[in-house]
Amino acid sequence: MSWSEAWEEGRTPWDAGAEAPALVELIDEGELGGSRALVPGCGSGYDALALARVFEEVVGLDLAAGAIDRMERLRVERGVAADRVRGIRADFFEFEPEEPFDLIYDYTFLCAIERGRREAWARRMDELLAEDGEIVTLIFPVVDKPADEGPPYAMSPELVRNLLAREFRAVELSEVEESNEGREGMEWLGRWVRRDR
């Protein structure tokens, strides 16, 4: 089943129904903020909408029209201004924005793509991020299961570190203390900046 079909049929078992507590904590502590943020594979957009509290413009990107429609409904429900969160239906691997982003936030996107595309994911992170930008990866699911079982495919902090290592270094890589129900003990937070910073 394609991503678009999954959205059309309402088969979205990955949807936590709420913002990720680890992201909300970063926002509440004043750790994040700036001009432009990108959320690839944004799904319903809970996290994109949360980021709109501290970024002037958040782009939620998703292949599936159903996801973009859902995020737009949520945006209206939550009273978030249209110019703060923009849904774009596009393929992350082909997306050509007008400007790079100050933040790229990945949650349950890397674990969803085919394993053979992970190097391309890392290259895109580099291409789409501003020189002094930051990547935040909420790494999930950190579980022990066969590598070819998914999506979601098993993730680990080391896997993400290795993917980003050529251009980026971790300024934080730690296990998350609070997660949405059912995800406890399976999430790590990574914050990455360019090596020359």
Ligand X SMILES: C[S@@+](CC[C@H](N)C(=O)[O-])C[C@H]1O[C@@H](n2cnc3c(N)ncnc32)[C@H](O)[C@@H]1O
Residues in touch with ligand X (CB under 6 A):
3, 14-15, 40-44, 61-64, 67, 91-93, 107-109, 112-113
Contact 183, 141 (CB under 8 A): yes
Q: How far is the CB of 132 from ligand X (least distance, A)?
A: 25
Nearer to ligand X, 43 or 190 (CB): 43
Q: How far is the CB of 122 from ligand X (least distance, A)?
A: 14
Question: How many angstroms separate the CA atoms of 154 and 144, rounded?
Answer: 7
Q: How far is the CB of 197 from ligand X (least distance, A)?
A: 27
Nearer to ligand X, 102 or 187 (CB): 187
Question: How many angstroms separate the CA atoms of 139 and 50, rounded?
Answer: 18
Q: How far is the CB of 186 from ligand X (least distance, A)?
A: 13
Q: How far is the CB of 32 from ligand X (least distance, A)?
A: 17
Nearer to ligand X, 44 or 137 (CB): 44
Nearer to ligand X, 41 or 190 (CB): 41
Output the CA–CA distances (angstroms, integers) from residue 181 to 4, 16, 78, 90, in the order listed. 26, 8, 22, 30
Please give the full DSSP string across 123-165, using - where no structure is assigned.
HHHHHHEEEEEEEEEEE-----S-TTS-SSPP--HHHHHHHHT
Nearer to ligand X, 91 or 132 (CB): 91
CB burial of residue 47 (10 Å; 0-12, 13-18, 19+): buried
